[in-house]
Structures are given as C-alpha cells and as structure tokens.
Amino acid sequence: MVQHILDTPIEYLKGVGPSRAEMLRKEVGVFTFNDLLHYYPFRYVDRSKFYRISDIDSDSAWIQLRGKIISMQILGTGRTSRLVLQFTDGSGQTELVFFQGIKWAKEKVIIGKEYIVFGKPNYFNRKYNFPHPDFEPADEEVSSPNEPLQPYYSTSEKLKSRGFTPKNFARLIRTLLNQVYNAIPETLSPALIHSLKLISRAEALLNIHFPANAVLLEKAQQRLKFDELFFIQLQIIRLKFIRTEKVKSRVFSRIGENFNNFYKNNLPFELTNAQKRVVKEIRADMGSGKQMNRLLQGDVGSGKTLVALMSMLIAIDNDCQACLMAPTEILAAQHYKTISKMLAGLNIEVALLTGSTRKAERSVLHQSLSEGKMQILIGTHALIEESVQFRNLGLVVIDEQHRFGVAQRARLWEKSLVPPHILVMTATPIPRTLAMTLYGDLEVSVIDELPPGRKPIKTYHFFEKDRLKVIQFMRSQIEQGRQIYIVYPLINESDKLELQALSEGIDNITRHFPLPQYHVSIVHGQLKAADKESEMKRFLERKTQIMVATTVIEVGVDVPNASVMIIENAERFGLSQLHQLRGRVGRGADQSFCILMSSYKLTTEGKKRLETMVRTTDGFDIAEVDLHLRGPGDIQGTQQSGLVGLKLANLVKDEKLLKLAREFAFRTLEDDPGLQKPENAPLVRHLSNKEFDWGKIS
C-alpha cells in the first residue's frame, strides 16, 4: 500500500535526523509528520507587543520582552546552583534564572546581543525575575511581520538542550507545512463544511500554527475542535446504531410469577414514581429483542437496588439467570443480604461470590450456576473469573460502574453466547457534556426523586477549634439513639501520615467516648474481610454507636439509623467522594447531619469544594462544579474513554460545539448509516486512520 506522506517517520523531516527523532518520540510522542502537524502551540504571543520591564506589575501572565543580556553569573553550588542573566531593555533591569539546562543556556548567551525573552515573571525578594524563560536572538524571527501572532510550543529541558526551543519547533513545523500543505486531507464532507461555515482542514492546521490574524486563529480552533468532538460522537453513535440494529438479545416478553409475587407480597414500600418509570423503561428494553445497554443514574439513596432486583426478577421469569456485580466485598455482601431478605418466601436461589468465598463452597456454586439452578449471583469482580460459567445469563447489573475497567466489563459479555442485557448503575451524577461523551452510546434512565419522608441533610464546615462543640453534638445525637460515622482520608493505605491521623483519631474518640457506655467500630482497608464484616455488623445491629472508618465505607453501605457523617480532613477529598460519603446518612426519617472538618490551610479549590457541599445536596449541581474545578481529564473513567484524544476541545467550555457535533454526527449516520455515500468517504478515511478501538468506549 502506498503510504501517505503524513505517515512519514519524523526523522525524514529536514532538520531532524535519527537521533533528534528519537528525542521527539520519547519526549513529546511525535513519531510522524502527522504527529508534528498536530503538535499545537500552547499559546500565542502578539509579537508586535513588548512589555517594558518597568511596567511589570504582576506575576500572573506570560509576557514578551526585548533587550540585552548584560551579564552572566553562576550562583550557589551543587543542588542550588543556578545561572543568573542580568537583562535590560532600557526601562529597567530584571534577572533570567536557570536551575536546569545551565550549560545549554550558558552556551547560547552572547553578552550585548539583542534577545527576545518570553516568560512568566515571578515575584521574589521584592522584585520580579524570570525563571526558565525562553529567549531567542531578536534577529532570528521565524514568523513574518504579517503574522503578528507568534506560536509558542511547549518543550522540555532535554529537548531544549538538543535545540528544540519553542522557536525551533516553529521552524520545523513551518518546513513541514511548506512540504505537505497540499497533501493534507480533508476529513469532513463538503456538505458539513458548507452548512457549518467551517474553514478547510488544511487551512485550519496552517492557522493553528501560524495564524494570519486573530479571526483566523479563532476559526482554526473552531474547525479543529469540531473535528475532535465530531469524530468521537460519530464513533459513539455508530456503536449505538450497531448495537441497537444488530445485537440481538433474549426477548423477555413475560412478566411472571416471581415479579408479580414480589410486587404483591414482598415489596416493603410503594415505589417512587421515578422508580416505576425506570422499571418500565427497562422492561421495554428487555422485551424489544435488542440488547439493552442502559445507564441508570440516581443519587445515593434513591433506591437503585430495588430497580436492579425487579429487573433481575424479570430475567428469572423468562428462564434466565442474572448477576449483580459490585465494586467491593462489603457492598456485595450488603446487596446479598438486602436482596435475600427482600426475596424471602419466593423460592429463588441467590448466592454471593467474592474473593473470600471458600474453595469448597465455590465449586458447589460453580456447579449450580452451570446447571442453571442458581438464579441470582451477587458478587465482586470474582464473577468475571473464567471458572464462573452460567447456563443462561440474561441480565448483568453493574453497580457503581466507575470502578470497573472497560476490559472487566467486556468479559462479562462473553459469559453468554447470546449477549446479556446490561444495566449499569451509578450514583455519581455525570455532567451532561461528559455523559454525552462517556456514555453517549447507552440509553440513560434517571431516578430523580428520593423516597418520601427524607429530610435534606444539613451540612456544616468546622475547624479544629470547634472540636469540642462537635463532640458535644455527637453525645447528644447518641443520647437520642442515633449512630455516627467518622471518616478519615486514607487514600494511600500505606501512607504513614494518613495512618497516623487515623490512629490518633481513634485514640481521641475512644477517650471522649469510653467504654462501657460507648462502643466504637473500626473499619479500614487493612483489616481482613471477615473482621471488616463483623465490625460493620456490630454497627448495623446497633451494638456500637460510632463507626470510625476510612473510605472503604464509601459506597452503598446502608444503615438507616446512622444520622451523622463526620468527615475528617474533608479538604483532602474530591467533591464526588464527599457527596458519596454524605449519602451514607439521611436514609431514615430523622434529620441527618454532615460535618466537614478541615484544617485552616485551604486551597481556593479546597474551599470551593467545602462551600459547595454546604450549599447544596443536589448531585448534579455538585458534579457540574466538580467538572469545572477539575476539568474532565481527572474525572474517573475519562482516561479510558478516548477523551484523552481531545487536544483543543474542552468539555466544559465547548459545550455548545459538542452539542452541535453530536447533532451533526447523528444526522450524518441517520442519512447514511454505513457511511457508504461518496461524500462521506473523507469521514471513513479519517476514522480508519484513527484506529479506533470500540472497546474503549462504554
């Protein structure tokens, strides 16, 4: 096959060569011409604008200076040694400081020569200096005067030492563009380009590197962002089309004895309207003949378990097995207990399978599963093991799906010749933009209503000075018969400081709440499963009033009598985690409380998180704030979603464009599901270049 010029290895670009190519591959992942073409500048500097040193008055922005280096000195020794260049532009004097790459910088400096310096001023010892600025001789300009916006490329000390300064990146990319401009393929159909008034892909790539002006830069960004979002949506929606068109699954046509008996005799309460609606949606899906792929979102405590159970009963009524997979042993055990209890008297076989299930028990279980006798299997990822074989698995329910890797989920699919229906439940509300991208191929149901009689949890933020007040409050709650959680951050189970905080916390609590009047449960990740279980059990049976725990209790544990959640070092938790933790209380009819303890030292972000928690209990509201604070890249699950491919588009800022991209992807596929029309050939070519892996999404 003839290789496209853009696939040429980067070493063949004029000015690169084998050893510098190795550097580019290692340091910035640039392997081919195409990769370099997509190595976008991280900012643009208006090269007609120079700052005067005397005008510098804040250390926030990147600025450009023009002037001379008048002296060069190496100060300090060993690890503190640094190169200091005195720099003047006539209006004043400042220092350019290098801690690394000293040798390289030193060799580059010619005293008295004019340089253009680009950097971020830093206020230190009552004056501004520039740590690690970029500087280039003023006579080595690469962009022409009619391109006032100059691109700056990120680079590393290592790259710089081999001559890859931001300027040199610009030079290389200029060379590349001259060579390949006419060969840059269009990726969208003419109709799309026309109706969205986009510039061509080649024009966009040229202007993202060397903008002719601010307007064209903006257009280039729009075009390239649109491409990024559009192709993700096209892939997701195509996957959705394929699944709904092609993947046949069992038809659950019957609502039978088990479901009806449960509804009539065992249902402990009236379903909420939201629960009724969602059960209906699931029933319709599973009766359609197509495979169900549904995401069930519902805030903590909204009653998802019941929905899962009723869905499983439908599967059983249609002679199939069902399984429910939970992320932790505690949660799996709790589901098992709740569900067995709810099914009392119904003659349905339910079993629990986790990593700590004994071998003998396990082989009996395997047997009854493969014979089809066992109807509901609840467990952890132990369910995925090869030895677990179902006779006719019809429904897979996955709880708290963020914790399951994509590969793990895919393996559940393989447990049945006919693909089982899939219900994914999550209590982590996902902002719309993210959901469109992460789960855009799944149907979504939302339980947007809590069971009746719940009072909104009151949330407070306290500091250490309020400790005695908090202890007082705990006593009064315990006197009223309530129970209390205290959670410590133990993000890293072997972090000494965190472990110390936990053990000091425990000492403190047992001192304030001594035996024999008070009893305390302690649960953390280093306990054996059986010990965890028995500590939980004591709390559940009200033998203890206080549960001190690390985040192992985060998901799912249900103790309706617990009405106070105290979170220590709350500033160390992420927003969604705080929200999950708070959801452990407020499950009964009593007024519940959440107390966020924090140190006095708070980052702006940490403060915002705590303020948000105090302000609202709405999970979607919290998720939006979280997305704004952290950006999508940090939100669990996004790593595996293909979102890492977003270079320019931002799911927070480009929501409008995302909607547009999704809409047009939909229209395109509706009009031409197989993308077979000639005008869609560019799309297909681009998709196949991207070597997209279907398994990465959903």
Residues that bind ligand ADP (CB under 6 A): 269-272, 275, 298, 300-306, 427, 451, 558, 560, 587
Residue 94 Cβ vs ligand ADP, minimum distance, rounded to whole Å? 57
Residue number, 426 or 433, with CB nearest to ligand ADP? 426
Alpha carbon distances (Å) from 312 to 52, 72, 306? 71, 75, 10
Write out the binding residues for Mg ion, residues 154-193 only, by CB under 5 A.
none
- Least separation, in Å, of the C-beta of 340 and ligand ADP? 14
The residue among 248, 378, 404 whose CA lies nearest residue 322 is 378
β-bridge pairing 127-131 and 93-98: parallel
Nearer to Mg ion, 192 or 332 (CB): 332
- Specify whether the CB–CB gap between 149 and 216 falls below 8 A: no
Q: How far apart are the first and last CA of the chain?
A: 33
**Host H or E run for residue 537:** helix 529-540
Can you tell me which residue has the tokens 């938790």? Answer: 573
> For the chain, how many helices (H) and strands (E)?
23, 22
Choose between 160 and 304: whose C-beta lies nearer to ligand ADP: 304
Q: Which residues of 160-180 are buried (b: 16+ CB within 10 A; e: fewer)?
A: bbbebbbbbbbbbbbebbeeb
Candidate residues 440, 556, 583, 619; the one interacting with Mg ion per rule CB under 5 A:
556
CB distance 67 to 115 below 8 Å: yes
Region of 47-55, 213-221, 548-556, 625-633 interacting with Mg ion (CB under 5 A): 548-556
Q: Rounded distance, CA 274 to CA 265, Å?
A: 21
Region near Mg ion per CB under 5 A, out of 115-123, 447-455, 552-560, 674-682: 552-560
Binding status of residue 133 toward Mg ion by CB under 5 A: no
What is the nearest approach in angstroms of Mg ion to the Cβ of residue 586? 14
* Pick from 315, 281, 316: nearest CA to 298: 281
Q: How far apart are CA 173 and CA 178, in angstroms?
A: 8
Q: Which two tokens stand for residue 651?
A: 């799911």
Q: Which is nearer to ligand ADP, 427 or 657 (CB)?
A: 427
Of 300 and 436, the one with the shorter C-beta distance to ligand ADP is: 300
* Residue number with CB closer to Mg ion (121 or 556): 556
What burial class does residue 11 get, using C-beta atoms within 10 Å of its C-beta: 0-12 exposed, 13-18 middle, 19+ buried? middle
Backbone angles phi, psi at 453, to 5 degrees: 85, 0
Nearer to ligand ADP, 163 or 451 (CB): 451
CB atoms within 10 A of CB 103: 11
How far apart are CB 425 and ligand ADP at their closest, in Å?
A: 7
What is the smallest separation between the CB atom of 312 and ligand ADP, expressed in angstroms?
A: 13
Q: How far apart are CA 429 and CA 311, in angstroms?
A: 21
**CA–CA distance, 432 with 444 (Å, rounded to integer):** 11
Tokens read off for 594: 């959440």
Interaction partner, residue 302 (Mg ion, ligand ADP, none; CB < 5-8 Å by kind): ligand ADP
- 131, interface contact from Mg ion, ligand ADP, none, CB < 5-8 Å by kind: none
Q: Which is nearer to Mg ion, 429 or 556 (CB)?
A: 556
Size of the site for Mg ion (CB under 5 A): 1
**Whether the Cβ atoms of residue 206 and residue 190 lie closer than 8 Å to each other:** no
> Using CB under 5 A, which of the segments 89-97, 129-137, 276-284, 551-559 binds Mg ion?
551-559
Residue 305 near residue 338 (C-beta atoms within 8 A): yes
Considering the rule CB under 5 A, would residue 41 count as an interface residue with Mg ion?
A: no
Task: Find out whether 478 and 615 touch, Cβ atoms under 8 Å.
Answer: no
Ordered DSSP codes for 425-492: EESS---HHHHHHHSTTSEEEEE--PPTTPPPPEEEEEEGGGHHHHHHHHHHHHHTT-EEEEE---SS
Q: Would you say 217 or 306 has its CB closer to ligand ADP?
A: 306
Phi-psi region of 556 (alpha: psi -120 to 50; beta: other; left: phi over 0): left
Q: CB under 5 A: which stretch of 127-135, 290-298, 532-540, 554-562 binds Mg ion? A: 554-562
Task: Choose among ligand ADP, Mg ion, none what residue 155 binds, the Cβ cut-off being 5 to 8 Å by kind.
Answer: none
CB 650 within 8 A of CB 627: no
Q: Which does 637 bind (CB under 5 to 8 A by kind): Mg ion, ligand ADP, none?
A: none
Least separation in angstroms between residue 280's CB and ligand ADP is 15
Closest contact distance (angstroms) between CB of 423 and ligand ADP is 13
- Which residue's CB is nearer to ligand ADP, number 205 or number 314? 314
Tell me how far apart the alpha carbons of residues 653 and 566 are, in angstroms, rounded to a whole number: 35
Shortest Cβ 560–ligand ADP spacing (Å)? 6
Compare residues 451 and 574 and give the one whose CB is closer to ligand ADP: 451
Closer of 265 and 639 to ligand ADP (Cβ):
265
Kindly state the smallest distance separating residue 452's Cβ from ligand ADP, in Å.
6
> Cβ of residue 590: shortest distance to Mg ion, in angstroms?
20
Q: Least distance to ligand ADP from the beta carbon of 454, Å?
A: 8
> Apex CA 139: angle with CA 134 and CA 143, to 5°?
75
Q: Interacting stretch for Mg ion, rule CB under 5 A, among 1-9, 56-64, 518-526, 556-564?
A: 556-564
Residue with nearest beta carbon to ligand ADP: 303
Rg (CA), the chain: 30
Question: Binds 269, which of Mg ion, ligand ADP, none (CB < 5 to 8 A, cut-off by type)?
Answer: ligand ADP
Minimum gap (Å) between residue 436 Cβ and Mg ion: 24
Q: Which residue's Cβ has the minimum distance to Mg ion?
A: 556
Q: Does 429 contact Mg ion by CB under 5 A?
A: no
Q: Return the one option of ligand ADP, Mg ion, none that residue 275 interacts with (CB less than 5 to 8 A, by type).
A: ligand ADP
CB of 569 to ligand ADP, least distance (A): 25
Residue 243: name its binding partner from ligand ADP, Mg ion, none (Cβ under 5 to 8 Å by kind): none
How many Å apart are CA 273 and CA 305, to the nearest integer? 15
State which residue, 21 or 435, has the beta carbon closest to ligand ADP. Answer: 435
Which lies closer to ligand ADP via its Cβ, residue 45 or residue 567? 567
Q: Minimum distance between the CB of residue 521 and ligand ADP, rounded to whole angstroms?
A: 19
Interface residues with Mg ion (CB under 5 A) are 556
